[in-house]
Structure 1
C-alpha cells in the first residue's frame, strides 16, 4: 500500500514516515502545498495523511483537489487544529477521518488501517479470494490452509493487483505504485518481470493467475 504524508514539521514528518515504514507501507512525503499538489497530479495513493496548515497554502484546498481528481484512496486530515469547524470542513470535503495532533503512533497505525479496510476490503480484517485468505495486518497469505511466504515486493504487487482486480494494470502504474515516484529514473521495467515470475510460482496452488497483456501490463484473473 502506498501512502503520501503531507506535513511541514520535519520532526513530525520523520516520525510518521518511520512509523508507517515499519508497517511495510511504501511512504512518500511532501512538505509544502506546491510539492504535494504536483505529486497528487501525477501519482496515485492508497491513503493520504494531510496537514491542514501548510507554509504556502491551505490543506483543505488540496483536499478539494484530491476529490476533484477522482483517483480514489483515503484521506486522513492531520492537524493541530482540533475545532469542530475544521473537522466539519474536512469531512464535508470528503475526508475519511480526522486525526488531531499530538497523537500516538499506535493511533496513527490504527486510523490508517481502518481507512484502508473500509476502502479496499469492505471493512474486513482479512480478504478471501478463491482458495486464498490474506491477512493484511500481518501480511500473511494462506492457500488451502498452508501459509505461503512472499517477499515484500511480491506481496505489494499482489495487493496492488487485488485492489485493481477489475482493471488492466500497466507496467508503469505497477512500478510507480510499488517502487515509488523515483521509478521514473529507471531505464526499463525489466526488474518487474522477475518479481511477476516469482509471484506466479507462489500462486500456482491458488486459483489466482496473473495474465500478461503484451506490451501493456498485467491483469489478475480469479478462477
Structure 2
C-alpha cells in the first residue's frame, strides 16, 4: 500500500515516514502545498496525510484538488489546529478523518488502516477474488485455506491487482504503486515483469481461481477464472 505525507516539519515528516515503512507501506513525501498538489496530480495513493498549515498554501487546497480530480485516496488531516471549525471544514471538503497533533504513531497507524478499509475495501478486512483471500493489514494471502508465501513486491503487486480487478494497468502504474519514488530502481520496468512472472507461477501452482493476463504493448489485468 502506498501513502503520501504532506507535512512541512522535517522531523515529524521523517518520523512518520520511517514508522510507516516499518509497517511495509510504500511512502512518498511532500513538504509544501505546491509539491503536494504535484504529487496528487501525478500519482495514485491508498492514503494521503495532509497538514493544514503548509508553505505556499493551505492543506485544504489539496483536499479540494483530490475531490476535483475525483481521486479515490483516503484522506487524513494531521494538524496542530485542533478546532471544531477546522474539523468540520476538512470533513465537508472530503477528508475521511482528522487527527490533531501531537498524536501517537500507533493511533495514526490505526486511523490509516481504518480509512483505507472504508475507502478502498468497502469496510471489509479482507479482499477476495475467486478463491484468493488477501488481508492488507496482516499482509497475508490464503487460497483454499492454505497460505500463499509471497515476497514483499509480489504481495504489493497482488494487492494492487486485487483492488483493481478487470482493470488494464500499465507497467508504469504498477511500478509506481510498488516502488513509489524509487521507480528508477526497477531497472527500466524489467523487474516488474520478472515479479509478475513469479507471482503468476505461484498463483497457478496454488490453483488460484484468478490469473494475471498480459495485454501486449499495454500492460496487465487480473481477472477471475
TM-score range, shorter chain: over 0.9
1:1-223 matched pairs, under 5 angstroms: 1-183=1-183, 188-204=188-204, 205-223=207-225
Taking only aligned residues, the RMSD between alpha carbons, in angstroms, comes to 1.3
Aligned mates of 1:128, 1:38 — CA distance in 2: 33
Equivalent pairs counted in the alignment come to 223
Deviations 1:39-83, CA, capped at 9 Å, x for gaps: 112111110000000122111111101111112111101101110
SS across alignment from 2:5: strand
After TM superposition, the structure 1 stretch with the greater mean CA deviation from structure 2, 1-10 or 125-134, is 125-134
TM-score with structure 2 setting the length: 0.95
TM-aligned CA deviation for residue 221 of structure 1? 0.9
Unaligned runs of 5+ in 1: none
Contact 1:43/1:181 (<8 A) preserved: no
Q: Which runs of 5 or more structure 2 residues have no equivalent in the other structure?
A: none
Q: Distance in 2 between matches of 1:150 and 1:130?
A: 18
SS in 2 for 1:169: coil
Say which is worse superposed, 171-180 or 181-190, in terms of deviation.
181-190
Q: Secondary structure at the match of 2:166?
A: coil
TM-score normalised to structure 1 length: 0.96
The range that moved more, 124-133 or 153-162, is 124-133
